[in-house]
Structure 1
């Protein structure tokens, strides 16, 4: 049998390439990655068209004076300068902060209490969870119309107050009545959602910690503040940040509750229901000042970023004070078992 001689220097058939070198990618190898790339491409295409492009275009638009139809006129930072001198804008900022405080703080507290009660051994817990989540998936436009009839001068809220001997409240005509009515709608919508978020965090806490608190004779309030809250900081941080972002973007409640066909009258009497996003919508889509609305949107983005950082620093805390009550409870429990 004839022996086939290989050319000098040619690598053997089973010889691997030297370390640090890779074989060139063949067209067939590149085609092997094509199906998964095509499978995920719709997301990136949609994000580029409906996410990235509007964001980048809004940055460009904030430096332009444009009514949406005619030619754009470059004005530089004048839009932001006009915004700083706009008294209605600063009034909307104050209204947004007041409504956010009246709604977010009570809402997070009620959500935590509801989650703590659901975490206990109660009957029909599943039905309660569904009931608490229903407001979040209900059309806010429809529910705002319902709340508008409830808070009317002769509505259900004032009828209930008069039934117990109290005077009626101008829910839709007075300064704090307007802010309170909008805050109540926000609480109604988001308290159940955040309660389920807190409930998921509670279920991740080891049962030994609750047993240690029970052995030490801790009541429900002590268990909540000494055992639950220190370990729920990541969940509380998530809920606080998302509630801050949602609270500073209030729009539907005020827009439907105080809708008007006249330019400049949006927000109810005295514009006490005027929020930042509602004012942005009025300037951009009613008065056709799209550049001014884009500048307002980026100022709102900066405000939300600042408040997010503040929430992070206040809620997250340091690693040294994450679980002060738990450590003591577990040490005391171990000491008792040792005895």
Structure 2
């Protein structure tokens, strides 16, 4: 006569084929999800190889002295210490911020005005949208060559027009401020239409009842723009300010094609990314180039946080003030 095996802890073992077994459910879920993970795995593999690995490797490089050929030598924080005392780096930082200020504020204002006008009932709206967005998809290298011809000191179209009306020519590409203004105009020309399309999408999401109420109250077009459109567009404005800040601090193609690796006269067009490119791929100082890259990341992060606080701060306080006002009226 045989006896059943004792059950430990008073719990009967679960059959792995039981559909209510947690392990069986996890295996079934894994089998169902496995094809989905396999389908999206190429993106993550490519990102790991060409995105994540270079980022992590650049962190390691910033603590070394390496020319890309010999052995790496660990130098600790020496690259960052030299960066803090590097006058050329701080000159590039100053140039970048000046160009950002000259380009971003007029660009976003013009983009908002263009989007507001395109949002009205006008003819050929689709044509205008394509026309304003076209500069963003145009080759920047080709347009930098065109801008170099337009703003040339000797045979440029701008100076020819100024001379024709009796004015003095402007040294656009040979003076510090001329170089900065030229690069800023290139940035405005390229990204105004892009931001206008984003603003237009935000305008189309605003309820039309607000505009109807403003018209009933007798508000003018500019009153509607500043008192209805701008407050409702605050999240979109915040997005464009942050993206434009990151893009403005990462300027490279415009000064590099227009002025060359030297950054023009007196390095007036030397931006942070152009200086990083020179150090890494001209001087072959990959360690210092990586340190500049992470310094740029820190500057962009801090500047984006400041912009986020300035643009969204009052918008976050508005509901509190309105609720306090309603309570006071009660």
Same fold (TM over 0.5): yes
Alpha-carbon deviation of 1:285? 0.2
Q: What do residues 96-136 of structure 1 show as CA deviations (whole Å, max 9, x unaligned)?
A: 00000000000000000000100011110000000111100
User: Residue 205 of structure 1: SS of its match in structure 2?
Assistant: coil
Alpha-carbon deviation of 1:162? 2.2
State the match for 2:3 in structure 1: none
State the match for 1:314 in structure 2: 310
State the match for 1:253 in structure 2: 254
State the match for 2:186 in structure 1: 185
Cα distance change on mapping 1:215 and 1:274 into 2, 3 Å:
same
Q: What do residues 254-273 of structure 1 show as CA deviations (whole Å, max 9, x unaligned)?
A: 0011115xxxxx10001000
Alpha-carbon deviation of 1:165? 2.7
1:289 paired residue among 285, 290, 300: 285
Q: Is the 8 A contact 2:68 2:284 kept in 1?
A: yes
Q: Is the 8 A contact 2:111 2:196 kept in 1?
A: yes
Cα distance change on mapping 1:26 and 1:284 into 2, 3 Å:
closer
Q: Is the 8 A contact 2:203 2:229 kept in 1?
A: yes
User: Residue 24 of structure 2: SS of its match in structure 1?
Assistant: coil
State the match for 1:129 in structure 2: 129
Alpha-carbon deviation of 1:168? 1.0
Are 1:113 and 2:118 matched, yes or no? no
In structure 1, how many angstroms separate the alpha carbons of the residues matched to 2:13 and 2:151? 89
State the match for 1:337 in structure 2: none
Alpha-carbon deviation of 1:298? 0.3
In structure 2, how many angstroms separate the alpha carbons of the residues matched to 1:270 and 1:226? 45
State the match for 2:212 in structure 1: 211
State the match for 2:174 in structure 1: 173
Q: Is the 8 A contact 2:115 2:200 kept in 1?
A: yes
Q: What do residues 29-67 of structure 1 show as CA deviations (whole Å, max 9, x unaligned)?
A: 533322111100011101100111000000000000000
Cα distance change on mapping 1:25 and 1:322 into 2, 3 Å:
closer
Q: Is the 8 A contact 2:19 2:25 kept in 1?
A: no
Are 1:150 and 2:150 matched, yes or no? yes
In structure 2, how many angstroms separate the alpha carbons of the residues matched to 1:108 and 1:26? 51
Residues 27-42 of structure 1: pairs in structure 2 closer than 5 A: 30-42=30-42
User: Residue 33 of structure 1: SS of its match in structure 2?
Assistant: helix
Alpha-carbon deviation of 1:27? 5.7
- Equivalent residue pairs, number: 309
Alpha-carbon deviation of 1:176? 0.8
Q: Is the 8 A contact 1:151 1:181 kept in 2?
A: yes
Are 1:275 and 2:271 matched, yes or no? yes
Unpaired runs of 5+ residues, structure 2, are 1-11, 326-330
State the match for 2:70 in structure 1: 70
Cα distance change on mapping 1:225 and 1:66 into 2, 3 Å:
same
2:296 paired residue among 294, 300, 313: 300
State the match for 1:84 in structure 2: 84
Q: Is the 8 A contact 1:62 1:291 kept in 2?
A: yes
Alpha-carbon deviation of 1:193? 0.1
In structure 2, how many angstroms separate the alpha carbons of the residues matched to 1:29 and 1:243? 43
In structure 1, how many angstroms separate the alpha carbons of the residues matched to 2:107 and 2:217? 31
Cα distance change on mapping 1:22 and 1:287 into 2, 3 Å:
same
Q: Is the 8 A contact 1:79 1:295 kept in 2?
A: yes
